[in-house]
Structure 1
């Protein structure tokens, strides 16, 4: 066995022992996997299973590509007793092989039966067949640990043995050339069924196969299948198949699912692939299973410990059945038949020589005990539900109180923050008012400038008065000089010089006056600009404070 095979074996084994599920009582099909279950289809039940597959194979060394079509079939029949099943299975295969030789591509078509096997399977050991008598510990039912703890005895599987014969036609391209037409095959089959309220339904099947032991090419194979029931209609599976022989060895993994159409019809599909390239395999298959149910006795598989209990309506059904058939007749039918499990409403272990009243008392007592067990379980489950609901309510109440306390703290923090912001806003307004009061000095400065300008105007008026007086004096002098103008040329020249000096002085006064007026207007303009900016800044600060107040009010 290769390391890869060992790895898959361990993985699926761990998956099997950790799962928990229940074997279905409806159609018992081996599809879509290739392994056999330990249980038979049931006495007097005929079941047909078949499907078609399409795939491709590539061989790296031979440089071949193969298109594969196969049709597999299985016929199962429960013979005489519940534990015995006869089985005919086979697979017809048709290949189209493409091989490149040099520059040419050759195509070879081949077809034949790859498998044809007829055999019988017998259930050797059934762990669900004979549950112990009333050993129920009523106090243990109150313990959650006792109710849900893992029970190691559930690892004990049902075990079956299979013996069959292979039939090979001559010139078969899918078998070894020297294989005889007849060869035996043996298999040991183990099956575990687990079921819990929290784990769903699982079945784990193991097949150990020894094939063609009398030929020159014996083969050893093993198949591990884990099946999980998702709900009443759907189930999924994973399967690992290994084979070891001198003729052919491989490791194949299959994945797929099945759909239960009704209690007698199932549809399925799966994919399969391997982990090597001599050849590499990939196939897709789909099929169906159908049974013809002529089974006259209901063999109901029950959980260990007779945990089904007696439910409402069952006692009435029992009375109706007793009225139609009679208790003696029913036990006569059960006598001599080995059952897979104990019926819920019948006690097949009672001897036929006992009288009816004794049987009725035993059945009534057993029904009462089962009903008490069921009621006790229901009470424990209800207590668990009530306890869980109480914890949930307390948790929700604690969360609500915590949430309300948190909201109250946040509201208090928000109120404190709003009060601080309001106080800060008032302080900012007071500071702005103080600043505005300080800025009132600008108006005083403007008043000083106006006083200076008035002083300048007064000085200008005085200068103008002096100029007028000088002008009068000069005019007087000019009149006097005019009188002697004709007589004194020098005097005329002096007059001319005086006029020039007067013109220069007037020009200088005019320029000085214009400069003073310009400086006055410039200072006045600057002061007005500063006053305007101060007023705008004041208005902006007031608008900003108002916006902040509105925002706080909105919050």
Structure 2
């Protein structure tokens, strides 16, 4: 197959040192590897990549065990042109180190950014943007064998250069003590894309790294990554990294895979380990990449001097082949046009520049635009159906929630009505009981008032008797004279006094009886009050008994 078809299929997944092939319809990310590919994310595209890692390290010489947590991030943006990308990336690390000294264990915690780097990458050479001249004839385009044979030019990689600046904090526990706070880094990135008849689509990326060359501890690295697309949503990768410096050297192997959730979102996971015990390392990482796609213009990256169309020799060759089946030729063009290169956004065919006139190119482009419009409308229709279906489910769910909420409110209202009815009945009963109590208390109070009134009458009668007794007595001579005058009158007077005394005694007795009844009524009323108080507070029984005893006394 042509290089266009190779890069279209491989563009589904480019991660782990497979950077984006300029602009593609689906996200292309460096994750989950640690290198970068030759291509950028595309002009006016912002891409955010990040992940969390958990692992352990064990150093046999230092006799230490370390629990590792790290967070790595990358922010990439295609600036001005398709070939240029700026990038900010870094990694934060937190360690818990356990060191055994004799019979004692010491625990140390450390945390800081291992590195923060700001730089730019530019695509220097792209072998996929123009086919060879001999491959641009009608004969080669019509031949199935020519389309599917192995092309040696695919061994020539796309090449880009990256230059950046490292920033580290002072007293960083994860870097060489003499490292400068600011240092340069340079990377040469090469990328090959292949499609095989049996193995599917592959991409191979190579990074050569020169880091911190201005410091006393320069570092050099090599990263090799192979990526294989399994289907439209799954891909796997294998990576080998070599790093060499006076501060730290290691060989690390990584393997993992990724899942394409949609055209702008990808999830990934990978496992990393090394081959030594000073220290031994293994790390499990999970991450995601998301793209903000503001790319609006289709662009073709053409080699300078090739924008003029076909040559006269190609025109003569084309005139010799006018009798061939035009439908077959158009079918071959359609097959080629369905494939895209890393050098352009879907929708352009730079291959035509070298062997066809501008009129035929314009006709093909119009045909491609029409087909793309139909495909876009179909995609929009499918997306709208999904949205309508989702909205329908959401509406049904909201309706079910509303009915459930209304039923719940109706039950609560019914319960509230029953409770209000019960409260009303209880209130009526309490009012009736209070009225009965008031009537009972009123009856007792009336009896007490009657007793008071009778006592007042008796007291008045007693006062009258006392007044009569206090009247001045008659002189003895006059009494004797009266006795001598009328014995019968004396006897009558004696009877009157006896009767008066008898009445006074009877009044006194009645008064004492009424006073006793009054006190008895009061005592009963007091006892009822005490009984009610006992029902409310049984702890005051002793006080009530004491009051009753005092009252009896």
TM range (shorter): 0.5 to 0.7
TM-aligned CA distance change 1:52 to 1:360, over 3 Å:
same
Aligned pairs for 1:99-118 (under 5 A) are 99-118=99-118
- The CA deviation string for residues 426-460 of structure 1, in whole angstroms up to 9 with x for no partner, is xxxxxxxxxxxxxxxxxxxxxxxxxxxxxxxxxxx
What secondary structure is seen at the aligned counterpart in 2 of 1:309?
helix
- Which residue number in structure 2 is paired with residue 124 of structure 1? 124
Structure 2 gap segments, 5+ residues each: 1-6, 13-23, 303-328, 369-553
Question: What's the CA shift string for 1:331-386, capped at 9, x where partnerless?
Answer: xxxxxxxx924865567998xxxxxxx844542378899xxxxxxxxxxxxxxxxx
In the alignment, what sits opposite 1:172?
Answer: 172
* Separation (CA, whole Å) in 2 of partners of 1:204 and 1:194: 8
1:245 is aligned to 2:245: yes
Asked if structure 1 preserves the Cα contact closer than 8 Å seen for 2:130 and 2:351, the reply is no
TM-score (norm: length of structure 2): 0.53
1:23 paired residue number: 11
Residue 333 of structure 2 is matched in structure 1 by: 309
Q: Which residue of 1 aligns with 2:416?
A: none
1:259 aligns with 2:259: yes
Matched residue SS, 1:310: helix
Q: Does 1:97 align with 2:97?
A: yes
Distance 1:39 1:138, change over 3 A: same
Q: Say if 1:236 and 1:342 are closer, same or farther in 2 by CA, change over 3 A.
A: closer
1:212 deviation in Å?
Answer: 0.4
Q: Is the 8 A contact 1:129 1:342 kept in 2?
A: no
CA distance in 2, matches of 1:306, 1:23: 26
Q: Mark the CA change 1:278 to 1:342 in structure 2 (over 3 Å): closer, same or farther.
A: closer
Corresponding residue to 1:340 among 329, 339, 343 = 343
- Quote how far apart the aligned CAs of 1:297 are: 1.9
CA spacing shift, 1:163–1:142, aligned 2, 3 Å = closer
Query: What is the TM-score when the length of structure 1 is the normalising length?
Result: 0.53
Cα 1:368–1:133 shift into 2, 3 Å: farther
- Whether 1:82 and 2:70 are equivalent positions in the alignment is no
Tell me the residue number matched to 1:63: 63
Quick one: distance in 1 between partners of 2:277 and 2:332? 52
Distance (Å, rounded) in 2 between the aligned partners of 1:85 and 1:172: 29
Check conservation: 1:185, 1:210, Cα contact below 8 A: yes
CA distance in 1, matches of 2:92, 2:84: 27
What is the CA deviation profile of residues 29-80 of structure 1, one whole-angstrom value per residue up to 9, with x for unaligned ones? 0000001011000000000000000000000000000000000000000011
Contact 1:160–1:189 (Cα < 8 Å) also in 2: yes
Matches within 5 A, 1:191-230: 191-230=191-230
73 and 58 in structure 1: CA distance in 2 versus 1, 3 angstrom threshold: same
RMSD: 3.4
Query: How many residues are matched?
Result: 318
Aligned match of 2:148? 148
Alignment-derived partner of residue 454 in structure 1: none
The alignment partner of 1:163 has SS state of strand
8 A contact 1:183–1:213 mirrored in 2? yes
SS at match of 2:281: strand
Local SS of the residue matching 2:10 = coil
Q: CA deviation at 1:150?
A: 1.7
Is the CA contact (8 Å cut-off) linking 1:21 and 1:193 kept in structure 2?
no
Change in CA separation of 1:233 and 1:313 when aligned onto 2, cut-off 3 Å: closer
1:83 and 1:123 in contact (8 A); partners too: yes
Q: 1:229: how far off?
A: 0.5
Q: Distance in 2 between matches of 1:313 and 1:349?
A: 10
Distance 1:239 1:266 in 2: 19
Q: Is the contact made by 2:298 and 2:348 (CA closer than 8 Å) also made in structure 1?
A: no
Q: Deviations over 1:199-256 (max 9, x none)?
A: 3111111000000000011010011110100000000000001101111000000000
Cα displacement (A) at 1:193: 1.1
Provide the secondary structure at the position in 1 that maps to 2:334.
coil
- How far 1:151 sits from its partner (Å)? 1.1
